Amino acid sequence: MNTITIKKAVRPFDQAIQVPGDKSISHRAVMLASLAKGRSRISGFLPGEDNLSTIEAFRAMGITIDGPGADGVVTVNGLGLDGLKEPSGDIDCGNSGTTVRLLSGILAGQDFAVTLKGDSSLSSRPMKRVTKPLEEMGARFTFLGEEGKLPYTISGGKLKGIDYKSPVASAQIKSSVLLAGLFAEGETTVTEPLKSRDHTERMLILFGVDVSVDGVSVGVRGGAELQATEVEVPGDISSAAFFMVAAALKKDSLLTIKDVGINPTRIGIIDILKKMGADVTFNDQRGASEPVADIVIKGGALKGVDISGEELLPAIDEFPIICVAAALAEGKTTISGAAELRVKESDRIKVMAHNLTSIGVKVFEREDGIIIEGSPEGLKGGEVATHGDHRIAMSFAVAGLFSDEGVTIKGAECVDVSFPGFFTLLDSVRDS
Ligand code: S3P
């Protein structure tokens, strides 16, 4: 296990940096390119452990995938909707919820059975949210351990389209059902309580599929042909978020983060930081399938705010770093409607409450959120455990920049799940 201590930053941050490619978009690019006929080229691919799990899964099913090389390019030789072959063994999804849930949708439509497994964190996360609608469509699941959890065997087959009302706003559920819908007879529609990230819909359109979007409802018809294409993956706003918060909190900073995806379903962190008083602007907005910009952050002081579940949804993965921003803001921050955070890579409400308390922050944990008393003068510091959760590790690295005694992070290697090179980039920013 790697232990890293991050000490207080002295100087403001004033650089232009780039963060690695978007995790959600990288997963979808490999999946759809595998289902398309012909050679697709993906640039800016995130070589994180989660995305490598997705690549390995499709290689195991007979798809030839080259890369990712040092240039971030992956090429996929897709064999069409009916081109996947039965793998010779189980498929290991590692730590990746997106891999297992989206892949389950694709496997639901295959005429072979596959066993999916994952690491201990993934094996404790709820899977009924996808297996239930996929069963309704005609797939069968056998849970090999605990009911509703990995590992499970999925026996795919002939599917019929459904009109699914998801109880949770979740892009993983929506995408799983839509991907199964590609193999189903008739139309498949998913309706969510609120609109979750829409990368799957955008990328299906990029690969030539007709997608109907009506507010919080999305539909596809079975049997569409996917056409191989070029995908440019923008920088991940969820990775940029750690540097955005660091710069927003450090007086006199002027940090530019180049080529970041600013899909409207993902920019909740910017709206929340602005509500807290941060100065954040977009430069050079561009992009087609996915909008992209350079994000410019000026450092100053933040104030505590109330954040609802609706505000948090487009910043769902930013909860840990928002908690760090709140810990250094003037006044109290209350986050509610965030119960989903309990079933992420770790129970992020519990782990954030515990770890913030360990470094001297006053915190009150609630069933569906958290209340944090900010101290703009800085944090005391101390030691925290990551529980193998990449975003917990990176959030406490940022906390360390504002601590008197430094923050020691035990289990820091998990940053490789979504952000290989995180600590090197952090070092270069703080020493600039
Ligand atoms: C993701 C969707 C979100 C997010 C996860 C990635 C995706 O999960 O937290 O990191 O790529 O679709 P939920 O759909 O469970 O909210």
What are φ and ψ of residue 253, in 5° steps? -75, 155
* Per-residue pLDDT tens over the stretch 399-430: 999 999 999 999 999 999 999 999 999 999 99
Separation of CA 197 and ligand 1 centre (Å): 8
Residue 93 has pLDDT above 90, yes or no: yes
* Per-residue pLDDT tens over the stretch 2-37: 999 999 999 999 999 999 999 999 999 999 999 999
Ligand 1: which atom is nearest the Cα of residue 344? 9
Q: pLDDT class for 432, splitting at 50, 70, 90?
A: low
Nearest CA to ligand 1 atom 13: 170
Residues of the chain with pLDDT > 90: what percent?
99
* Per-residue pLDDT tens over the stretch 321-360: 999 999 999 999 999 999 999 999 999 999 999 999 999 9
Ligand 1: which atom is nearest the Cα of residue 169? 16
Residues designated as active site: 317
In the DSSP assignment, the letter for residue 288 is: S
Separation of CA 345 and ligand 1 centre (Å): 11
Residues facing residue 38 across a β-bridge: 78
Q: Average model confidence (pLDDT) for the chain?
A: 97
* Per-residue pLDDT tens over the stretch 221-246: 999 999 999 999 999 999 999 999 99
- List Cβ neighbours of 312 (8 Å cut-off, separation of 6 or more): 268, 272, 319, 322, 335, 337, 338
Q: Are β-strands 184-185 and 74-79 bridged in parallel, bridged antiparallel, or unpaired?
A: unpaired
Domains 3-21+234-430 and 23-232 share a fold: yes
What are φ and ψ of residue 43, in 5° steps? -110, 155
Q: What is the pLDDT of residue 126?
A: 98
The preferred substitution site among 106, 168, 172 for testing ligand 1, maximizing ligand atoms within 8 Å of CB, is: 172
Q: Is 315 in the pocket of ligand 1 (CB under 6 A)?
A: no
CA–CA distance, 180 with 159 (Å, rounded to integer): 8
DSSP helix/strand/coil, 354: helix
Class of domain 3-21+234-430: alpha beta
Q: Is 176 in the pocket of ligand 1 (CB under 6 A)?
A: no
Ligand 1: which atom is nearest the Cα of residue 343? 15
Q: Is 171 in the pocket of ligand 1 (CB under 6 A)?
A: yes
- Planar angle of CA 269, 290, 346, nearest 5 degrees: 45
Residue 211 has pLDDT above 90, yes or no: yes
Q: Is 170 in the pocket of ligand 1 (CB under 6 A)?
A: yes
Q: What is the pLDDT of residue 320?
A: 98
Q: What is the pLDDT of residue 431?
A: 75
From 9, 15, 5, 7, select the one nearest 250 (Cα to Cα): 9
Residues of the chain with pLDDT > 70: what percent?
100
CB 25 within 8 A of CB 292: no
From 354, 298, 352, 301, select the one nearest 328 (Cα to Cα): 301
Q: Is 317 in the pocket of ligand 1 (CB under 6 A)?
A: yes
From 336, 353, 334, select the one nearest 395 (Cα to Cα): 353
The tokens describing 88, both together, are 């010779």
The tokens describing 404, both together, are 């008197």
Domain boundaries, the chain: 3-21+234-430, 23-232
From 374, 298, 296, select the one nearest 335 (Cα to Cα): 374
Mean per-residue pLDDT for 159-168?
98
Separation of CA 248 and ligand 1 centre (Å): 25
Ligand 1: which atom is nearest the Cα of residue 317? 9
Q: Is 172 in the pocket of ligand 1 (CB under 6 A)?
A: yes
Mean per-residue pLDDT for 146-163?
97
CB 94 within 8 A of CB 56: no
- Planar angle of CA 82, 88, 89, nearest 5 degrees: 115
Burial class (CB in 10 A: 0-12, 13-18, 19+), 401: buried
Separation of CA 50 and ligand 1 centre (Å): 12
From 98, 58, 108, 60, select the one nearest 78 (Cα to Cα): 58
- Taking the model in full, what pTM does it have? 0.98
CA–CA distance, 175 with 180 (Å, rounded to integer): 8
Separation of CA 377 and ligand 1 centre (Å): 34
Which single residue is written with the structure tokens 């819908």? 181
Separation of CA 101 and ligand 1 centre (Å): 10
CATH topology of domain 23-232: UDP-n-acetylglucosamine1-carboxyvinyl-transferase; Chain (3.65.10)
CA–CA distance, 76 with 86 (Å, rounded to integer): 18
Ligand 1: which atom is nearest the Cα of residue 238? 10
Nearest CA to ligand 1 atom 11: 24
CB 174 within 8 A of CB 200: yes
From 127, 87, 129, select the one nearest 107 (Cα to Cα): 87
Question: In angstroms, how far is CA 13 from the centroid of its own chain?
Answer: 26
Mean per-residue pLDDT for 388-407?
98
Q: Is 26 in the pocket of ligand 1 (CB under 6 A)?
A: no
